[in-house]
Amino acid sequence: MEVVRTITELREHVRNWREKDESVGLVPTMGGLHAGHLSLVEHSRRHANRTITTLFVNPSQFAPHEDFATYPRKEQADHDILAAAGNDLLFAPNVSEIYPDGHSTRVDIQGLSQILEGEFRPNFFTGVATVVTKLLLQALPDVAVFGEKDYQQLCVIKTMARDLDIPVQIIGAKTIREEDGLAMSSRNQYLSVEERKIAPVLYQVMAQVAQNVRGGEQPASQRTWAEAELTKAGFGAVDYVAVRDAQTLDPVRDASRPARVLAAAYIGRTRLIDNVAV
Ligand code: AMP
């Protein structure tokens, strides 16, 4: 597996593949790879002849008080995992390759970027959409794979690709979980032993909310119940527990259309997000 750090080298590989009529899949990541990321690589390999995984801790999606400096960076380990998984190319650019001096364009998705995660992380989706637009235009893949783990992000990226006429199929991949239900995440490494024991309660509570809503409970009543359960288990601030339309993320009153439970909550200083289908 080759590693490239410049857009020129990336495009050269893609051009060579295109000349042989090979299709291309893209898997954007920030590294700290786990089985969830590898499932995206598997999806890409099923849909395309060649897979490019990108490794870039994107500064523009972190707020000043967030964990950009301490985010897990393990390029050698990530490299070995990807090579073993049959990934064809690793694109690991430096920050100056993606944001050279004078870079001033931002991709902003109105509405969808401002709710839920966007309410608590105001510039997050602009940072994500900007970097993903750039990666898609740099590689021009046939397919790009994103995890349902970041469900709102997947919705934002689908909307952005559609609105900007980017010729790519966006594929969503199911959330990969630990045996006890905790969604795999690079940030789980921040949890202490005690916190790690509490963490799966987030998934359990959300699964219960989904079941309650399916059984006819009002979505609005569930937030209070879920928040109390999380607090009882040892969670700190609960940013949101919401039941939303699975496509638009608009609030829903019942389970008559496909819906999604989405939540974000702190354990100690670590913020976990997760979602489940109703
Ligand atoms: P990240 O490196 O956290 O930015 O994630 C890169 C991609 O992997 C995103 O599309 C995530 O949604 C996806 N991803 C992260 N965790 C999981 C998981 N547990 N299961 C499936 N996909 C995931």
Query: Does residue 7 sit in helix, strand or coil?
Result: helix
In the chain, what are the domain boundaries? 2-173, 186-277
43 among known catalytic residues: no
Q: How far is the CA of 76 from the centre of ligand 1 (A)?
A: 19
Superfamily (CATH) of domain 186-277: Pantoate-beta-alanine ligase, C-terminal domain (3.30.1300.10)
Query: Does residue 237 sit in helix, strand or coil?
Result: coil
What single DSSP character describes residue 183? B
Q: How far is the CA of 104 from the centre of ligand 1 (A)?
A: 27
Ligand 1 atom closest to the CA of 177, numbered from 1: 19
CATH 3.80.30.20 for domain 2-173:
no
Q: What is the pLDDT of residue 93?
A: 98
The closest residue, in CA terms, to atom 6 on ligand 1 is: 29
Contact 194, 45 (CB under 8 A): no
Contact 185, 222 (CB under 8 A): no
Tell me how many degrees the CA angle 219-247-155 measures, rounded to the nearest 5.
115
State the alpha helices, DSSP H only, in the chain.
Answer: 7-19, 35-47, 75-84, 95-98, 117-120, 124-139, 151-163, 193-198, 201-214, 219-233
Give dist(CA 243, CA 250) in Å, integer.
Answer: 9
The closest residue, in CA terms, to atom 14 on ligand 1 is: 147
State the alpha helices, DSSP H only, in 59-110.
Answer: 75-84, 95-98
pLDDT per residue rounded down to tens, the chain (278 residues) = 999 999 999 999 999 999 999 999 999 999 999 999 999 999 999 999 999 999 999 999 999 999 999 999 999 999 999 999 999 999 999 999 999 999 999 999 999 999 999 999 999 999 999 999 999 999 999 999 999 999 999 999 999 999 999 999 999 999 999 999 999 999 999 999 999 999 999 999 999 999 999 999 999 889 999 999 999 999 999 999 999 999 999 999 988 999 999 999 999 999 999 999 99
Q: What is the pLDDT of residue 238?
A: 97
Residue 142 CB partners (closer than 8 Å, separation 6+): 23, 24, 25, 47, 48, 168, 169
Q: What is the pLDDT of residue 254?
A: 87
Tell me how many degrees the CA angle 240-152-75 measures, rounded to the nearest 5.
105
- Catalytic member of 13, 37, 47, 79: 37
Best probe residue, ligand 1, of 150, 154, 175 (max atoms within 8 Å of C-beta): 150
Ligand 1 atom closest to the CA of 39, numbered from 1: 21
